Amino acid sequence: MRMAERNNAQTLVSMVEIQKSFGKVNVLKGVNFEVGKNEIVGLVGDNGAGKSTLIKILTGVHQPNEGEIYFKGEKITIHSVARSRELGIETVYQEQALSEQQTMWRNIFMGREITNRFGFLKVEEEKKETEDILRKQMGFTSKAITTDSIVKSLSGGEKQGIAIGRALYFNADLIILDEPTMGLSLAETRKVLDFVKNIKEKGKSAIFISHNIYYVYPVADRFVILDRGNVAGRFLKAEITQDELVEKMVRLAKTGKMS
Ligand SMILES: Nc1ncnc2c1ncn2[C@@H]1O[C@H](COP(=O)(O)OP(=O)(O)O)[C@@H](O)[C@H]1O
Ligand SMILES: [Mg+2]
């Protein structure tokens, strides 16, 4: 078995020789993938490369056919989304799991409500915490956005921000962003990228998936290129310029080879 690229005290999660098929279609063909502590990894590659499938194995949506997962040095199985969350892995999907008709504070605490010993909701406490998340964690300054705002009234970028803020609040060690800027305007995208920088500043880790290198490059520490179910390349940001990375991806798409 090929050794994972790095497995030491600095490794947060390590996926080793992961294989996944859907019926006869082999989507992941023995992928080694790691995320370090306080590292932002850009997971890039063409549509259909297997990026979402790979991270869905981490979030407990799919089970691998083969391979092992290590989290903080321990071998684990992630049999459900609940288990993944319990471990400290949170996902921010494009089709965000926010409840549109509900207020901000209800959304932050959905499924993890603060209750007293009789099981009653501590509304004031949840509102106060939400206010803190908005102003301190996420840096929302607009007076128009309050704890009582209905999520539907937020822009796409703000919604992603709430989802990231929520993950940070619940102390996720690893936040996974799968195409978080899809369908967003440029200004909105910039906001989301700022939120990703926030994850880094808070000492946490992230996997940032996008097929747009121009968004991934500035915020990631390292890049992993997935190509038709295989890792085609790994680069530290220090090793490669944005233009070189783009050029490699274009060549890969055209010729099926990196160089
Ligand atoms: N639940 C599924 N059932 C069958 N095929 C799937 C399923 N999920 C993904 N695939 C296939 O796996 C391949 C990789 O998909 P995906 O992981 O979504 O790629 P990416 O996120 O890189 O665009 C695609 O060919 C896709 O059609
Ligand atoms: Mg995808």
Cβ atoms 68, 19 nearer than 8 A: no
Atom of ligand 1 nearest to the CA of 54: 17
- State the first-to-last Cα distance of the chain, in angstroms, to the nearest integer: 25
- pLDDT at residue 1 in the model: 37
pTM over 0.85: yes
Mutate to test the pocket of ligand 1, among 52, 91, 212, 225 (most ligand atoms within 8 A of CB): 52
Q: Region 128-145: what's the mean pLDDT? A: 83
**228 alpha carbon, closest ligand:** 1
Cβ atoms 4, 14 nearer than 8 A: yes
The rounded Å distance from CA 149 to ligand 2 centre is 30
Residue-wise pLDDT tens digits, 210-256: 878 999 999 999 999 999 999 999 999 999 999 999 999 999 989 98
Atom of ligand 1 nearest to the CA of 56: 17
Q: Which domains does the chain have, with CATH numbers?
A: 11-95+206-255 (3.40.50.300)
Return d(Cα 191, Cα 211) in angstroms, integer.
Answer: 18
With a 6 Å cutoff on the Cβ, whether 49 touches ligand 1 is yes
Q: Which of 5-9, 110-114, 220-224, 241-245 has the lowest mean pLDDT?
A: 5-9
